[in-house]
Structure 1
Amino acid sequence: MQKRKPQQIARELALLSLSQLPVSTKKLENLSDEQLVSKLVLGAVRTLTLEVQDTLNNAAGELQRSNDKLLSSETRASDLNTARAMLKEAIAHTQTAINQLGSSVDFPELIQLANQDREVRNYAKEIIITVNENRSMIDQYIAHGLVDWQVARLAQIDRDILQIAVAEMKFMNVPNSIAINEAVELSKRYSGEDGHRFINGVLRRVSEQKQIA
């Protein structure tokens, strides 16, 4: 497996920790290295646990609805097609959960690098602080990049991926192509089956936007 760069590890830590860490940037800035690592790792574990549970719950719901259709005494061809679609959706949710669980295999590497590599810690903290300090404007960029959708309706993990990428593009001087490619890779690990295409499309539109006042 190709060795990942410190900033790639930092993005993943930031992604998994973002929704679990305090919004106050002062609290983050005042943490010692040891405290920061502890917060990042704990936040990452909580996020991944919640994501897997939510995805499996969605899969279970689709399976139940599919089963109800198949067992219905009034089942028609249209109902069978609906049941098949629900079953396909349940399988997709299950595959996403498996992918998310598979990502936990990399946790020892994440923890080790967060402890040993100051660049990983500092970049993860920089991303989180930048997102928290500019969240309103970042969400405006995302909203303008969405088609027939709203930021509030995005899955948490997709919103966090988009926020990190936009923070890098618009506030951290990361080249658009790099920020987009890294976001796509994160979405392949943590989002749904077509998540990476959705993320790519939104960020391509965001990259074309001029500065928001």
Structure 2
Amino acid sequence: MQERKPRQIARELALLSLSQLPVNPKKLEKMEHDRLVPKLVLAAVRTLRSEVQDTLDNAAAELQRSNDRLLSSQTRTNDVETARTMVKEAIEYTQTAINKLGAAVEFPELIQLANQDREVREYARDIILAVNENRNSIDEEISSALVDWQVTRLAHIDRDILRIAVAEMKHLEVPQSVAINEAVELAKRYSEEDSHRFINGVLRRVIEQKKAASTP
């Protein structure tokens, strides 16, 4: 297993915790470290469990649909081809669920590092605070970079990955290339199969728009 750096662990913890924690930054600012870690871990476990269950449910539904289509198709070629496509989609859902289960297997390491490494705890909190304090402006930047889409319609994992990357670039002084690369890795680890390409494209448009806005 590849060794991950403290900030990589912090990003994962922040990503998995973000949707479960209070939006009010003041509550998080006052939270002491001995109270913060258990809350982050509990929120992350809930998110991971929900993500895995949703993906497995989708895979099961796709498999059932493809099985029904195969049984009813008999000799009709079009229905057989459709069923094959549906089976492929079900397999992709299942693979995504397996990937998330793999992340869950590594979760004890994440918990240990969160408890032992001060940098992990503090940077995870810095990310969450930066996102919560600047959510509106961050979402505006993401929205302007989306093509025929809205932030509110994004899968919440993808939305939070984008929010973290923009927050790091804009408020935590993380180099743009680093923020994008880390966001892509998070998407590969926790989102759907092609989400990392989508994440990469959106963040590059965010950068291009910022450059265009600053050019006289």
Could you say which TM-score interval applies, normalised by the shorter chain? over 0.9
8 Å contact kept, 2:73–2:80: no
Alignment of 1:143-154 (within 5 A): 143-154=143-154
Alignment-derived partner of residue 209 in structure 2: 209
Query: 1:89, 1:76 → 2: CA distance?
Result: 20
SS in structure 1 at match of 2:59: helix
TM-score, with normalisation over the residues of structure 2?
A: 0.93
Alignment of 1:49-198 (within 5 A): 49-72=49-72, 76-198=76-198
SS in structure 2 at match of 1:20: coil
8 Å contact kept, 1:169–1:207: no
Query: 1:207, 1:130 → 2: CA distance?
Result: 18
Alignment of 1:16-55 (within 5 A): 16-55=16-55
Cα offset, 1:197, TM superposition: 1.1
% identical aligned pairs: 74
> Mind listing any 5+ residue stretches in structure 2 that lack a counterpart?
none
Cα offset, 1:68, TM superposition: 2.0
- Counterpart amino acid of 2:153? R
Query: 2:154, 2:76 → 1: CA distance?
Result: 34
Cα offset, 1:138, TM superposition: 1.1
Query: 2:74, 2:147 → 1: CA distance?
Result: 38
TM-score, with normalisation over the residues of structure 1?
A: 0.94
Query: 2:182, 2:23 → 1: CA distance?
Result: 24
Cα offset, 1:113, TM superposition: 1.3
8 Å contact kept, 2:73–2:79: no
Larger CA deviation: 105-114 vs 42-51 = 105-114
Query: 1:40, 1:33 → 2: CA distance?
Result: 10
Q: Which runs of structure 1 show a deviation greater than 4 angstroms over 4 or more consecutive aligned residues?
A: none
8 Å contact kept, 2:56–2:97: yes
Query: 1:31, 1:120 → 2: CA distance?
Result: 15
Cα offset, 1:176, TM superposition: 0.7
